A and B are shown apart, each in its own frame.
Chain A
Amino acid sequence: MIRKHGEIDTALLGIIIILLVIGIIMTYSSSAVKGYLYYDDPYHYFKAELVWVALGLVALTIAMRLEWRFLYKWAKPILYIALLLLVLVKIPGIGKTVNGATRWIGVGPLSIQPSEVIKLAMVLMMARFLSANPYKIKSFRKGIIPSLALLGVVCALIMLQPDLGTTLVVVATVFFMLIAVGANLWHIAGLGIAGLGLVAAAIIAAPYRMSRIFAFLDPWADPLGKGYQTIQSLLALGPGGLFGLGLGQSRQKFLYLPENHTDFIFAMIGEELGFVGASLVVLLFFLFIWRGFKIAIHAPNTFLSLLAVGLTSLIGIQAMINMGVVTGVLPVTGITLPFLSYGGTSLLFTMIGAGLLLNISGIAGKSEEVI
């Protein structure tokens, strides 16, 4: 189950490490005030972040050395376990409620979010299903329908948590995988239109939803309520200007911006490091996704190729959605910025995903031996 790794994609590894370093620095800068106020220790979150990054690197190394056939074989059981966890977390007494949503399972620091597990499990399963017979996906009945059925079940369970952000990421990732494997583009377009139709029907049925969905476009309408986080985020970005206020000089971090070291770390980067710093982060994610797809193209078989597409999409889409939220392009969904947001299981599972991606890049390097 463990193998020696070949030539991994060092550029991708470099990008990951740069993102992690920025994350560590910004976590300290943005959480020092909060740590001082709540725990009387400005280094409180910083120390925890170092532990999480260390754990993440261990997870990445292990994922990098896993034998891919093991993943192929275990895709189904892993999915079943992930689905079981999603259900278990809703049973009173097992799940833990944080900020009004029951998304956690486990004890103390050993808690995990089942929605993080299902993301990886879903990508694994879809890669296995689609690679078994890639031509099947051309057929609506034999390819698209089963994929959508599985996606529907998984998304329904994630929405139970409730976790809109993760649902979005999973749906978008699966669509990227379908497109990559060669699904009929008319099918995809049709599904897109059907989706829009559903949303339209929901709005016509209850017009107040319209204002709720589009509230983020005008956060100033309700500055102390629904618009609060978006406004505080924009107020952080604005004063940042071209080069930012300088490291540690954020004003919004004085408890004006909630979740500033987790979901809104990108706003802190924009405030302290300015347009230049924020654009650099966008660029790093762009490069990450580009390398990810490159690995997918060079993968020695369809399973690994699709797995790479899925993992890259998972991390890339989450990053893009998070940055979209912070800049006010998307409504607040409550998902983290991969590699940069303060620790937790989110970082751990992102690192596992990145480790698998590096793993595939190593196999691609010696493709002729493998097949």
Chain B
Amino acid sequence: MKNKQGNYFTREWYVYASLIIISLLIISKLFYLQILNASELKARGATFRMNSQTMVFERGMIVDAQGNILAKSVPAKDIYADPKTLAKYISNSSEKPSNEEITKRIQEIADSIALILEKNNKDILELISKDLSWVSLARQVDIDKANRIRELNIPGIGFTDTYKRVYPTANMAASILGIVNLAGDGVEGIEYFYNSELKGEKEFKSQGNPEKNMTNQDLSSGYNLNLTLDSTIQHLVEQELDKIIEECQPQRAVILAMDPMSGKILGMGSRPTFDPNSYTNSKPGERKNLAISMIYEPGSTFKIITGAAALEESVVTPKQLFNDPGYLIAGSRRITNWDSDRKAHGDISFAKGMELSSNVVLAKVGALLGKETFYTYLKSFGFGSKTKIDIAGEEQGLLIEKNRIKDLELATMSFGQANLVTPIQLLTAISAVANGGNLLQPYILDRITNKDGEILMLNEPKVVREVISKTTSTIMTGILVDVVDKGTGGRAKIPGIKVAGKTGTGQKIEPETGAYSATDFVASFVAYAPAESPKIAVLIALDTPKGELIQGGTLAGPHVKKIIESALQYYGIPVSASTPSKLNNLNSETIPGNNQTKPVSPEKKPEKGEVAVPNLTGLTMRQVGEVLGKLDLRYKFIGSGLAHQQFPDAGKVVNKGDSIEVFFSSEDNTSQRKED
């Protein structure tokens, strides 16, 4: 039936009736809640808010392979004020105080709070003078500071429990760990990648008992992460980065160390860097993890890939001769050997070409390989796609499109220009050359544990695919050992150890012109050792270093050497017959002073929240970390080897959470021990 307007809507009273009923229902429920039942809800609200303070959440810890704490959450307080209550209290406190007295009193309160919080007293005064019932005075304040404010007994000042994320090692590994925002969520790095694990939100089946569900067993804390990262290696990385910055002031620098046999990340560092304990002072650019996000043209280090592919396809043999007149015409461009000695070499073998880093020889090898096959190998080695390492912020690099590859591009690709890679991509690919031909999944998380130490998840090395044969791997490694022994990589030579390596100096594209810059380069070096069964693979890349000789071998070589040398000592591999290592038995329990730090007599009795600094002389980094960690002290490590100096000295009384600087040296300094 049509209504008089000409449509079929004839049942308006049905909808009106249901509408009225629903509205009345809601209004009557409101009336019940807000008028009839209000007093009960008010009382319940007050107790509930008090109880709910215990609901704060402790985020899981991040520790390194040795168990050193890299990130943990410590209890802290948020401090707020109720200015209205405060004002009421002051004006009622004595017999009708004058306005001046009130102002003076509030000023005093602001001063005393500002003193403890180390904040500007004008800011505090402004906050507590507001006509509001709630203002936030400070967030995530240390417990002892909060207690000192509580002892002032100011009415209208309140505290809520919270946690504060602290990074005891300050800027060590900062870009890997990332940061956590005030809401308690990781927003960068591992903190972001494993946020739900650190918050304990993820479900895990118990390893021993698959029926037992691990969810929700402890709502107040998250799971702990154990990384493959090793503080000893990481310290070396950070220390060499600092030296590099001092020596040649590159815009950016990155060092990456991994175990080429397993894909485990051992160390990873970037410059610029930041202190995650005060990340709000840092710029996003400073927080970038360059090892996974810097994209650059790798230059000659990439010749390892070209060479490995050509050997695998049997288009060359190490002894095959190539004519190198010092230049090559490819397409429209003249390619020279500027990366090495810029000379004509005449007829040289492929292996010699690698040693001298001849662009001409490699361009000819690339031509023999052909664009189709070469491209297949690039993909197979993982270039142009993310390695899927478990850290947030990875870039995927950029491969030149296949149909754009002409003679010139094929030639430049062969010696590492034209394609963009990330350090993690390159080192993962080179690890495949090092380990007998398997491209591995790089990873940094070793295992996830719960509070009781029960292992919830254990990462195992994973082969992505076999990219070259064992034979090719052995031949290429032999060539790379010669590069270090006799060729451009000489600065990384370590007596008694076979080091396989390759230098690189990649040209950068000027953003304004789109052409290669004549002055800006990325100098780099990759190496692994011991060549026959590698323990560590290292990549160093310096973006736009300053100096006369901008070459990967010259600038990065010595640092690669230092890291490999110290790391092998740490792994107990004697590096040279002439210099017996004092670090060999680092892990044994026989070091003098070990585990029995001399009892120190503190300068005064430590009060609550304070602690006496122990004597650290003669301890290893790991031991120092443990000792200071137990005392809730932060630490900053300088050097490597055994501790021989510290600041503040042993016996000084400091606040918990203070930072102790410890100087390490591989020389035998135990004789100079201070006898406090």
Contact = CB atoms under 8 A, between A and B. Distances in A.
Nearest to A246: B133
A286 B23 CA distance: 7
B5 A300 contact: yes
Given A182-B10, A239-B45, A275-B34, A290 B16 contact: yes
B216 to A, nearest CB: 9
Contact of A237 (B25, B33, B139): B33
Contacts of B207: none
B549 interface: no
Interface stretch (A111-119, A192-200, A209-217, A301-309): A301-309
Given A180-B15, A290-B16, A239 B42 contact: yes
Interface stretch (A9-17, A80-88, A322-330): A322-330
A316 B15 CA distance: 11
Contacts of B1: 182
B182 A37 contact: yes
A254 B80 CA distance: 11
Interface in B1-53: 1, 3, 5-12, 14-16, 19-20, 22-23, 25-27, 29-31, 33-35, 37-38, 40-42, 44-45, 48-49, 52
A332 interface: no
B493 to A, nearest CB: 47
A305 B9 contact: yes
A275 B9 CA distance: 35
A46 interface: no
A301 B23 CA distance: 29
Nearest to A327: B29
Interface stretch (A21-29, A146-154, A161-169, A291-299): A291-299
Contacts of B57: none
Contact of B19 (A223, A241, A316): A316
A210 to B, nearest CB: 22
B26 A323 contact: yes
Interface residues of B, number: 45
A179 B7 contact: no
A179 B14 contact: yes
A237 B37 CA distance: 10
B55 interface: yes
A349 to B, nearest CB: 22
A179 B6 contact: no
B30 to A, nearest CB: 5
Contact of A279 (B8, B27, B45): B27
Contacts of B14: 179
Contacts of B33: 234, 237-238, 270, 327-328
Contacts of B12: 293, 296-297
Contacts of A285: 23
Interface in B607-636: none
A367 B134 CA distance: 56
Nearest to A180: B9
B136 interface: yes
Nearest to A34: B183
B9 A306 contact: yes
Nearest to A324: B26
B213 interface: no
B136 A282 contact: no
A343 interface: no
A306 B3 CA distance: 13
Given A180-B15, A275-B31, A238 B41 contact: yes
B260 to A, nearest CB: 31
A234 B33 CA distance: 7
Contacts of B30: 237, 270, 275, 278-279, 282, 327
A119 to B, nearest CB: 18
B181 interface: yes
Contacts of B26: 282, 320, 323-324, 327, 329
B202 to A, nearest CB: 11
A297 B9 contact: yes
Contacts of B7: 296-297, 299-302, 304-305
A242 B38 CA distance: 10
A278 B29 CA distance: 11
B159 to A, nearest CB: 13
Given A37-B183, A297-B12, A306-B9, A329 B45 contact: no
Contacts of A289: 19
A251 B49 contact: yes
Interface of B is mostly: helix
Nearest to A278: B30
Contacts of A293: 12, 15-16
Contacts of A283: 23
A254 B49 CA distance: 10
Contact of B48 (A235, A237, A298): A235
A38 interface: yes
A134 interface: yes
A256 interface: yes
Interface string A192-232: 00000000000000000000000000000001100000010
Contact of A305 (B8, B16, B31, B55): B8
A53 interface: no
B11 A256 contact: no
Contacts of A238: 33-34, 37-38, 40-42, 44-45
Given A38-B183, A293-B16, A300-B6, A239 B29 contact: no
A370 B2 CA distance: 17
Contact of A38 (B3, B20, B38, B181): B181
A74 interface: no
Contacts of B35: 241-242, 275
B645 to A, nearest CB: 40
Nearest to B15: A293
A237 B39 CA distance: 11
Interface in A123-140: 131, 134
A61 interface: no
Nearest to B78: A37
A331 interface: no
A43 interface: no
A358 interface: no
A226 B37 CA distance: 22
**Most chain A beta carbons < 10 A, residue from B29, B34, B37:** B34
Contacts of A300: 5-7
A237 B5 contact: no
Contacts of A231: 48
Nearest to A224: B55
Interface string B48-67: 11001001000000000000
B5 A299 contact: yes
A52 to B, nearest CB: 22
A240 interface: yes
A277 to B, nearest CB: 10
A323 B16 CA distance: 18
B9 A286 contact: no
A284 to B, nearest CB: 11
Contacts of A176: 15
Contacts of A36: 136
B101 to A, nearest CB: 28
Contact of B11 (A180, A235, A237, A290): A180
A282 B133 CA distance: 29
A182 B41 contact: no
Interface string B582-606: 0000000000000000000000000
A181 interface: yes
The 8 closest A-B pairs by CB, nearest first: A238-B41, A305-B7, A235-B45, A275-B34, A327-B29, A134-B8, A305-B9, A302-B7
25 contacts: A36-B136, A37-B139, A131-B8, A179-B15, A182-B10, A237-B30, A238-B34, A238-B37, A241-B38, A254-B134, A256-B52, A275-B31, A278-B30, A283-B23, A289-B19, A300-B6, A302-B9, A305-B5, A305-B9, A309-B9, A309-B15, A323-B26, A327-B30, A329-B26, A367-B6
Given A181-B9, A296-B12, A300-B7, 8 more contacts: A37-B136, A131-B8, A235-B45, A251-B49, A282-B30, A283-B23, A286-B23, A293-B16
